Each structure stands twice: as structure tokens, then as C-alpha cells.
A and B are shown apart, each in its own frame.
Chain A
Amino acid sequence: MFETVSILAFLATFAIIAVHWIATPTGGSRNVIQGSVHVLSLLLIEQKSSLLGAVKKLVYLLAVLSFLVLAITGFYPVLVKGKHISGFGMMIHATFAPVFALCMAFLAITWAGANRFTAEDCPWMSRVLRRVTRLQVAVDDRPCRCSLALYKAAFWLLLFLSLPLILSIVISMFHLLGTPWQHATLAMHRWVGMVFVIVAIIHTYLAIRLRMANAI
């Protein structure tokens, strides 16, 4: 069941992203190659030219690389070969896992402040608060910037998901859990991993779009 659900979920995610990309253009070059180079340069060049900013961008890129390696080594044997991860794939997965965990911790500290929700993220929230409370809330008729709100929500969701994702494997390494719980933690790791990958794909897509729109 996991294989079926995973494949369908990944396909649906990519389909929705493709439709969204086509339906809501951000402007800029329509040429695929030029557009791809533009996107990559956005990812590689840090707009805030400071040492900390550069480190943050590098850690982010390392996290993306680790994520890709972990996703491929984790899902390829299960979805394509129908087998457990093992052998060199397992070793690569286990090597990049702590790297990714460290990157997540660093990004959590450095990006948390910038990803706090504000009133500007949700103009409709301003409208609700003005209607429901007696708070002095300025009128905000801007269109709702769903992408930014969604981007921040994806960030926090990734942080939240990383806890069970990491703990489900680490706890199984101690003399705590018997065989039924070992099965349960492995299942948790798989399912949480699947959701994490989907959220990470959405987060990355939104990051690209928002960078292209100079919103972040």
C-alpha cells in the first residue's frame, strides 16, 4: 500500500506544481533553458551579501543535496525494486542522514525568524480580525499572498516533520523497542518521509517562485 500511495502522491504533487506553474506565470523568460539557468542562479547566489548570509545559503544547498540523496536512496529501492534499502544504498542514506539533520537544525535557527507569520502574509486575516474583534487593524485590500503564507507554513511543517522522521530511526537504535515497535517506527519513518518529501518539494517550488517575484 505504501508503494502505491507514495507513487500516486508524488505524481499528484508534480502534476499540481506543473499545472500551477503553467497557469500562474511569474513573468520572465519563457525559454526553458534560460528559465532553468535563472532559477539555478537564484538558488546559488545569495542576495544578502554577508558571511552569515553566504553560510546560510550554502547550508541550504547542502540540505537540498542531502535531501535529494536521501530521497533517492530511500525511495528508489522501495518503489522501483520493491525491496528494502540495503547495501551501499543504505550506507549512503545513513551517511547523509546526520548531515541533513544538522542542516535542518541550522536552518531552523537561522530561518525561523524570517518565517514568522505576520499580518501582511494574510490580508484576509486582517479582514477577519476587523470584523470579529475591536482591534485597530489597518485596511488591507491587497490580494492574499497565499504563496508566502504557504511557503512559511511549509517551512514550519518541515521542521515539525523532521522530529518524528529522525527520532523514528534513532530510537530504534537503542535497546528500547521490541520487534512490533521496530516495525511501527520503520513504518512511521516511511510515511513521515513521504509527507516530508512532498512538503519539501512544495517548499522548494514556492521558494523558487517567490525568489523570482522578489518576495523573499
Chain B
Amino acid sequence: MRKAIFAGLCLLSVFLRPAVVATSAEKVVLNRGDGTRARAIHRIPLYAEAEAGEKREKITAETSPALPFSMRGTCSECHVYEHAYDVIRKGWHFNAAEPNVPAGRPGQPWIHVDAATGTQIPLSYRAWPGTFRPDQVGISPFKFTEMFGRHMPGGGPGEMDTTEDAEITRQMVSGKAEINCLSCHDADAAHDQAEYAANVEKQNFRWAATASAAFAAVTGSAEKMEETFDYRMPDTVTNPELIPQVPTVTYRVNTFDHKDNVFFDVSSGVSADRCYFCHSDINVQEHGTQRWQADEDVHMTSGMTCVDCHREGLEHNTIRGYEGENNGSVLAARSTCRGCHLGDESGRPEGGRLGAPVPEHKGIPAVHFERLSCTACHSGPWPESEADRCKTSQAHELGTHGSNKAPNALPHIQYPVFAKATGEVSKITPNKLIWPAFWGTLSKDEKVQPVDLATVTKVVGAALKGITVPRTGDWAPLKEEQIAQALKALGGEAEQKPVYVTGGVLYRLGDDGKVLPPQKHPAAAAYMWPIAHNVRPAAQSLGVGKCIVCHSTDSAFFFGNVAADSPVSTLTAGGMKQYEFQGASHSRTWAFAWSFVFRPWFKVVAIGSVAIIGIVLLLYGLRALGAVARVLAEQE
């Protein structure tokens, strides 16, 4: 009897076990939050990187040599790697190099500058019109990561296998720049993204995430190692000059607990500090580089953080927050200015989300909201007669060790430039702008292609040898004779003429070997990208109280100047007016602005006329009423 019961129980467990196992698998695969707002405490083991299919090596206090931890290997214990990482890498911060990702609204490009060759060229993997793909100028993903990975959270081109023969072994030494979860999610005050940047610049891609962590330090440089270097066997380096340069990890004492786990102070509520490392900017015209003189965005001073608006889920498809954004998330439409402040048309209570004040916009004709974006009046610096200049984290390496603090350091970014946006929502928005400067070739059908940067550095650099590059990092002044010299050095086949694009114009050689007068060309057009920060308070919005802030013949909004930026001094006197960027003509814009002089008189005449007509109507109306009353009273 007992044997039968025992056998029955065994059989039962055989049938039950798959169900239990399946449930556990579901819980692991569905690695999303369960809805709690409490922070998940991460006391987890560290794992080193491993090739696909290989077992991950756990890093402990005894691991020698101390290995850099892999974010992919470490986080995937719970955020199941095979699913989560591959989902995360498609997120906005990591998917620039993915071929089928919609580019969306143009954004800030990566800008390569070289004052010695007069180069300031916008680069992007995204198909933003006016930018160039890095491979168009000979920059491989490996090189791109080395140049710009300082202000990237890893992934993207940092994880691409290089196809350049010269870089294959270098990539084995440097490793790949994995997605660094800590770039955003590390809540530890000692997180050092500047260390991440410093290590990326030394080709320490494998070590960079570890270097940024609060509990580890990295010394040495993979760039200096020979191509046979193996990071797991650093003792094989025997050259006494190279030994101090061997990339070495040191974990802080007491990093590992009794189970060899490490405490990661991570949070899904990313603090603004993490975002600010890559997304800061400063108006150097107004404030120099002194941030204490610049007011923060009004949303931040009101107690909000970046991720209150720029949200994302596990997919890391960050909501950028512009109207018409095709994000795939229903929250995207509700995370624009209009979405929070005015509400959507879904039937929910209008506006007021997250405590956002609902604007009344008293006295502003409705046509303004059809022609202008919210940011046109509320964002960026107050427009002046000349566009200001700014520095940004991505363009000027802000926050990194040894960054150039000179206000005039290249690249020169001007703002605000009020221009009509391209795309479905064609409103006037404030933009940042750069004037591209690069050496290229002009085909017979007038198309310009940039020359690869290595050739420019070698050929143009040699032709322009002797020019003085200022220590401030500003342009080295160029004369037309020098441009001619460089163009001749570049040479070019009969169908591909060498040209130099700068300051909105294009230089080419004439038959006499001298440079022809500069001419406008589409390839020389400024590259612009809309901005939304810093948002000014309502009391500092354009037109507050007075229409003539914009509608006057000397208003900066229409008649402000955006100077041409170029190493050629004769070009900098030129530029464009704001109304030209808005697609308007001078005569119409000026006439409309001038008509506002008569607006007070218009009101007086109209109200006076209405008063007279009203009195006449009243008088004769009362007389008519009197006549009716007499008739009804049957008075003769």
C-alpha cells in the first residue's frame, strides 16, 4: 500500500515538475518590473566578458589578475541577456548605427574639428540631412568610438566588429565598448563618467565601464599595448616601458561581500546628473563657461528631472518629446509641451499633467500656435541682434579631464536660430546651427562629397603648414591664397574638382589656378537642429505683454543676424537674417512689422467707431420702441 502511494507520488512529481519549471522560465523571461516603485537593491556577482556560448567567469576578490566586469555579463543574470540586452541595444541611445532605424527629427551631430585644416564637419550615423556618415570621411566604427565614445553610453558603433584590417587586432586588444548601464543608472555619487571618457580615449573600451564605477579604478592604456596583448595575461608584457601602461583594474577594498557579491547602487529613476554629462550646454556669449551665471531649465528648478518627460521602458526607446514623434509609445504624444500643458484629445482632463500649469495665452491670436512651436517663445536664450554662441557636452567634451575651456574653442555652435522645421510639423522652432567647413570634391552634376579625413590631414595639413593654430582652439585664419594652395595639393580628376566648403559658400579653383570668388552651394548650407532647452519661465517668454517684442522693425526674432562662421575672415562679415531661415522675404517681414506702429491707433479708431454706431443704434432703437409703445397704447 505504502509502495503504491510512494509510486503515485513519484509519478505526480514527474508531471508537476515541468509546470513548475515552465513557470520559473516565464518569470525569468518576463524580466519587466512588477509595478513596485521601491528601488530594487542590486547585490550581485560581477562577471567578466565572455564570447558567445562560453561560460562567464565570475570575478571575486581573489580573481587575479583583476578583470574588468562586463555589463552584459553582469546584468544578464536577471535582465536576461539573450532577450533584454538585444532589446535594449535597439533603444534610441544605442541604435544610431542600426540600418533600419527611422532617423526622426534632426538632432545634434557629432562634430569633427581640426583647426589646422579648417575643418568643422557634422557627422552622424542617422540619416539627418546635412550630416555625413562617418564612413564617408573614412572613419570606421572603431575610430568613431575612440573619437566620440567619451560622450556615449556604449553600444552602437562601439560594439560593431571592425572591418578595417589594421583595426582587427587592435579591437582584440581594446575590446568593445559595451552598453554601459551605469552611465545612466548608477545612483552612486562616486560614479565618474569622466573616467569612462578618459578610458575610451585611451582605447580602454573593455575597461571603461569598470573605470566609471565607484568601487573600481583602472590605470594603463590599451592604445599603447602591442597587438599581441592579452588582458587576461598581462604578465606577458615584458617591455619595461610598457609595463606601467598595462590596463589594470583595482577594486576598492571591501567591494566584495561574504558571497563575493557587489553592491550596485543603481536606480531606474535616472538622476539629472547622469544626463547632464552628455547633455549640458552653456551660452558662452552671455556666461562664458561659468554655469553659476546661467539659469537652469524651469522644469528642473520646479523639481522635475529629465526622465519625468524623457521616459522609456525596458526597450530604452527614449521619448524625445517633440510633436509628431513616432516613438511607438502612447506616452510620446502626452510627453510633448502640448501633451503636458494642454492635454491630448483623448478625452482625459486637459493639461496639468505632472502639475504642469495650463497656459491661457491671453491676447495671443491663434495663428501663432499654428506657425510657431511652443519652444519658439519659451526655449533657448533670449534672442539678440546677433545669434549667441554655445558650447555643448558632445561637441566640446564638457566634463572631461583637460577639456578646452576657452569660449571660442571649435566647433562654433550658434543659437537661437529661428527656422522652419522640416517634416510633417512645419513650424518655426529655435535651433542650434553650425556652418560646415570641409574639403571635398565636386562632381559634374554639382554634388559635393567630403574627402576622407586622413587625406585631409596629410595633404591639406602639409599644404597649410605654417598657419598658426590659436591655443584657444579657435579657427586658424585662412586666406584665399592658402585655400588655393590646399586645393591644388588635393588635385583631383577632371570630373571631380577639389573644393573647400566654409561659412555657407564653396571655393573652387579657376583655370588660372587661383581660387574663384566664393559661391553659394547647397552643400555649404548650415546644419541646424531644433532645441527645446533651456525652457524659460512664462514671464520670460517671447511677446510677454508686448507684441512688439517680435513684431517690430528691429526685433531680433525676425531681423537678428546669424553671422557666417569660417576661418576665412572676409566671410564672417556676411551671414543670414533670421527671417531668411523662416522662408520669409525682407519686404513683407519689414512691412508687417512696421504696421504694428499703427496698432494702438487701429484700436482707438475701431472702438470709437463701434461706440458711435452703438449710440446711433441705441438712439433710434429707443425711438422705434417709443413708436411701438404709442401704437400699442393706441395713441395717435
Contact = CB atoms under 8 A, between A and B. Distances in A.
A158 B602 CA distance: 21
A91 B599 CA distance: 11
B22 interface: no
Contacts of A166: 606, 609-610
Given A84-B367, A90-B592, A116 B620 contact: yes
A183 B364 CA distance: 10
Contact of A178 (B361, B605, B606, B613): B361
A163 B364 CA distance: 22
Interface stretch (A35-43, A46-54, A103-111, A190-198): A103-111
Nearest to B635: A135
A94 B551 CA distance: 15
A170 B610 contact: yes
B364 A182 contact: yes
A99 B367 CA distance: 24
A98 B602 contact: yes
A167 interface: yes
| Interface size, B (range) | 35 or more
B424 interface: no
B363 A97 contact: no
A117 interface: yes
A134 interface: yes
A178 B603 contact: no
B613 A104 contact: yes
A101 B606 contact: yes
B606 A98 contact: yes
A73 to B, nearest CB: 14
A159 interface: yes
A24 interface: no
B634 interface: yes
Given A98-B605, A108-B616, A135 B366 contact: no
A118 to B, nearest CB: 10
A169 B607 CA distance: 11
B614 interface: yes
A105 B617 contact: no
A182 B366 contact: yes
Dominant SS among interface residues on chain B: helix
A160 B617 contact: yes
Interface in A176-205: 176-179, 182-183, 186
A142 to B, nearest CB: 20
Contact of A167 (B364, B610, B616): B610
B351 to A, nearest CB: 11
Contacts of A87: 588, 592
Contact of A109 (B370, B616, B623, B636): B616
Contacts, number: 105
A87 B592 CA distance: 7
Contacts of A186: 365-366
B512 interface: no
A129 B616 CA distance: 28
A177 to B, nearest CB: 6
A172 B602 CA distance: 13
Contacts of B516: none
Contacts of A104: 609, 613
A177 B365 CA distance: 9
A90 B599 CA distance: 13
A118 B624 CA distance: 10
A136 interface: yes
B364 A102 contact: no
B363 A172 contact: yes
B363 A177 contact: yes
B367 A162 contact: no
A177 B366 contact: no
Contact of A170 (B369, B603, B614, B631): B603
A175 interface: yes
Given A105-B612, A173-B599, A97 B606 contact: yes
Interface in B541-592: 545, 588, 591-592
Contacts of B293: none
B595 A105 contact: no
Contacts of B366: 179, 182-183, 186
A90 B606 CA distance: 17
B631 A129 contact: yes
Interface in A124-164: 129, 133-136, 156, 159-160, 162-163
Nearest to A169: B606
B610 A135 contact: no
Contacts of A105: 608-609, 612-613
A152 B610 CA distance: 20
Contact of A163 (B363, B603, B613, B634): B613
Contacts of B609: 98, 101-102, 104-105, 166
Nearest to B594: A91
Given A135-B631, A172-B363, 16 more contacts: A98-B601, A98-B602, A101-B605, A102-B609, A104-B613, A105-B613, A112-B620, A116-B624, A159-B617, A162-B610, A163-B614, A166-B609, A170-B603, A170-B607, A182-B365, A186-B366
23 contacts: A84-B367, A84-B370, A87-B588, A87-B592, A88-B591, A91-B591, A94-B602, A95-B595, A97-B606, A101-B609, A105-B609, A109-B616, A129-B631, A156-B620, A159-B613, A166-B609, A172-B365, A176-B363, A177-B363, A178-B360, A182-B366, A183-B366, A186-B365
Interface of B: 360-367, 369-370, 545, 588, 591-592, 595, 599, 601-603, 605-610, 612-614, 616-617, 619-620, 623-624, 631, 634, 636
Interface of A: 84, 86-88, 90-91, 94-95, 97-98, 101-102, 104-105, 108-109, 112, 116-117, 129, 133-136, 156, 159-160, 162-163, 166-167, 169-170, 172-179, 182-183, 186
The 8 A-B residue pairs with the shortest CB-CB distance, nearest first, are: A178-B360, A101-B609, A175-B363, A105-B612, A105-B609, A98-B605, A108-B616, A170-B606
